Amino acid sequence: MVNKGGPEAHDKASVKLLRLTTNMRVYLGGDNNATQFSRTLLDIGNGNILNNDGEVLIEPTFATSVTGKDELIVNVYPQVAQISVKTDDCLLERAILAPKNNSLRSINNKILYMFQAHQQTYLSIDNLTDQDNAINIPIEFLNSLNPSGLPPHKLLDLKIGAPIILMRNLNAPKLCNGTR
């Protein structure tokens, strides 16, 4: 019945309205903390946890207030410098979300600096394809620009054991969009 309406939808009586009520990722994981967290988020979204002023009431055990990025990192990733790159999955089980890319870049750089492993930096390609039509603008200047919608020249800093999220499918059965 997708994209069918009006005269094209002949048998409206056979259409069943179904509601999704169970978070299957949480349900199949069997984690009681994740179940409670999911319920609390739904209650907040549905407006069930409000005080008389219409503000959301958040229990102190549900969220932690921090004063800066360093304290946030320590709360989310305690002892990040001591994490064993071969055995610990705590980096994969947690995430820090931020509304601005600049904030996230700063947080990621701080975490990566704390993570004890050899760092490899990857840069974008900055070669001219056609020397005849080249404009005399220094490549260093072009590399310093960070226009919206394009990745920075310093594309990626990686360390062994640090998680990354793929944004493009590399190998559909194994490494695809969203894989951590």
Q: Residue 2 has which token pair? A: 């997708």
Residues 6+ apart with CB under 8 A from 131: none
Q: Which two tokens stand for residue 57?
A: 């009431």
**What is the C-alpha separation between 135 and 20, in angstroms, rounded?**
56
pLDDT of the chain, 180 residues: tens digit per residue:
455 555 555 667 778 888 877 777 777 877 888 888 888 888 888 888 888 788 888 877 777 788 999 999 988 888 777 766 555 567 777 888 888 888 888 898 898 888 778 888 888 887 777 777 767 778 888 888 888 777 787 878 888 877 777 766 666 666 655 555
